[in-house]
Structures are given as structure tokens and as C-alpha cells.
Amino acid sequence: MSSFEREPGCGLAEHVDQVIEAAFADQRLVGAVVLVAHRGQWLYRRAAGLADREAGRAMGEDSLFRLASVSKPIVSVAALSLVDEGRLALDEPIADWLPAFRPRLADGREARITPRQLLSHSAGLGYRFLEADADGLYARAGISDGMDLPGFDLAENLRRLASVPLLYEPGRAWGYSLATDVLGALVARVDGRPLAEALRQRVGIPAGMRDSGFLCADAQRLAAVYVSDRPRPRRMAERETVTPFEDCVGIRFEPRRAFEPSAYASGGAGMIGSAGDVLRLLEVLRQGGAPLLTPGLVEEMGRDQVPGLELPANPGFGFGLGFSVLRDPAIAQSPESPGTWRWGGAYGHSWFVDRARELSVVALTNTLFEGMSGRFVNDLRDAVYRSAELR
């Protein structure tokens, strides 16, 4: 990405600026970094607003963010690199590598979970925060979603996860879940190094992602966290539960996790990184995968792995190996091309890659949940597609 040059502007900057300024005027966002690449060139890049409102610290293009579920494609790529090397097989049981992780079905039968099912969130697992109340199975087992400081390690969290019956038979349904945390443990086991080091060597260094990891090394670059509220977003408390959707108990956040060396490496939610790093990874994948993956695995990553299964909160979308895949733009009411990749993160992030249009867009914000699932997300998408540069 360092070789990118800005294309001549004729509309996109004005459209995207309007979306960002409207979000600030309505006090829906505190700060954001928005990057747009088209055909391997910068089309737009802007850091706007405040990284820390109380300190008066401006957002910078190099600001760091708690990535939340933007961690998932990074860990997914690392797993697929092991598939490329023949050290991991997508359709073999993960018990071959993680013999202690053997969750059973509700009727007590053994279940066969594969790496493909972990990558596509069809493994029968769930998330504690998606339970309807505080007396759910995951809550009673004390399972962590990877955003708090539970006081135990990943092995203990997986032991607790395996003690709870699967929500459905693997491969028979889709459910957003802790599958990428299990995948992270699988990557570490097969690679032979701690997950942080495996990701650095397999993804970070070859993709030029200098800022990505599980611990924040520079507090002055890390964006503070804000929660959508009225009349304006409020700073998140150090230990707070916030509900992203109706009818769920909510996510337990502890932002200081970013500085805690004892916090386990949550492959699904625990990484720190910059918008530039995320865009670098997405552009590598969009352009075929080298030097991270072979083109065939990138194609498989972007193929809908759960045809016929519905994503409840994402009509018109299926799911690939690490992110959602657009099936039907009409149902999704989206200008994106069929096959577009998309996902986000609970701390206030969204991204998408439209390979048909040679387009990658990353928007990392410090305001949840506006930056993940609020009006800003679709406003930004629509502004990009309205622009003359993409016609």
C-alpha cells in the first residue's frame, strides 16, 4: 500500500466527507479513520474527529483501535495459510489437533467439528452476549466472549465452552460464535508458536501490518472508546455491558484488556491495529492473496459456505471463510456487487471488499455501535457507490 497514489478526485471525497460531517454534526461519532482503495490506488484517506475527546487528542491516520471482530479475518488467513502448507485440512475433525475440545450435542452424542465449520461459523457454537438473558448456558458456564478480563486463560475458556452442549449439529445451521477463538487455538497448536507470534509471522510481516497484535504498545495512539448515546456518545466505563442488538444480554467490555499482558489471545475479538493495516490485508486478498495465500484459497474464502442457511441479522448475505459474502444485492438493498465481502467489529468498525469493482473500503471508528451497525455504515457505502470514480 505504500506505493499507492491518489486517483484524481471527481466526487468521492465530497460524498464521503458529507457522510462523515453529518455523523459529527448529529453527534453519532466521536472519531473515525476512513480509507478507500480502487484498482490498487488510494481514492480517499481521512482521519477525522477526536481519538480522545476528554484529552482533546485528534484522530490520526495512524491511530490504533481495539479491532474486536475485525480480528477474525486476520486469524482466518493464518489458518488458511496452514491449509496451503498441507498442515491443516479444512474438512478433517479439529479433535485431531485439539483432542481436549470435544463439545457434544444436546442429546449427548459426539459431534464432528471441522476447520471449515469454525471459519464459516457453522460449528454449533455461540456467543455469551447473544443469549437472551443472564441465565443462559454460556453465562452459567462463565464463558468469556474475549472482550473482558475473566481471570483465566484460553484453555480454560475452551474447557468451559466444550462443557456446554452445541446449539445445533455442525453444518446444519449458521450462528455467529466463539468459533474464531477456537480457530486461534488451532492455529497456535498446528503452527507450534503462540498465536500472537504465529499471526505476526504468517500474516503481519508478509502483509506489512506493522501495528497489529494483541497488546497495545503505544497508549498515545490508541483511540478511546465511546458508546452511542444521547445527546452525544459517552465514554465507555472500564467495565461495562452494552447490548448491540435487541433480545440479547449484551457484550461485557473491559477496554483496559488492550494493555493487559495476562489477557489471553482472543482470535475472534482481541487484536489491536490500525485502519491502514486492515486495508493492507484486504488489498492483498483482493489482488489474489500473495504472499499470504494461493489464489484458489482466496476464492474459497470468498465463496458462500452456507448456501440455504440464513444469517438472521444480514438478509441477502451468506458467509465465507472469515467474513460475510453478499448473495443477493436486491434482498440486502445494497449497491455492492454479488460476492462482496463484508464484516465489522463491535468497537465501531466496518469494512467491505467488492472484487468486481476492484474496491476496498475500511472505516474504523471509536464509537459503538454506530460505527458497526448504525446509519454511518450504509451512508458511507452509498456515498462510495454514488461517486463518479466508480461509474
- Residues tagged active-site: 69
Could you give the C-alpha distances from 287 to 57, 96, 301, 366, in angstroms and in order?
35, 33, 13, 29
Nine-digit cell at 88? 491443516
State the DSSP code for 272.
E
Q: Are 249 and 256 in contact (CB under 8 A)?
A: no
Q: What is d(CA 123, CA 251) in angstroms, rounded to the nearest whole number?
A: 21
| 371: helix, strand or coil | helix
Q: Are 174 and 121 in contact (CB under 8 A)?
A: yes
Q: Are 111 and 103 in contact (CB under 8 A)?
A: yes
User: Positive or negative, the Cα torsion across 139, 144, 149, 152?
Assistant: positive
* Angle (deg, nearest 10), helices 154-163 and 179-191: 130
Report how far Cα 91 is from the mean position of its chain's Cα atoms: 23
Determine the length of the chain: 391
Q: Are 212 and 271 in contact (CB under 8 A)?
A: yes
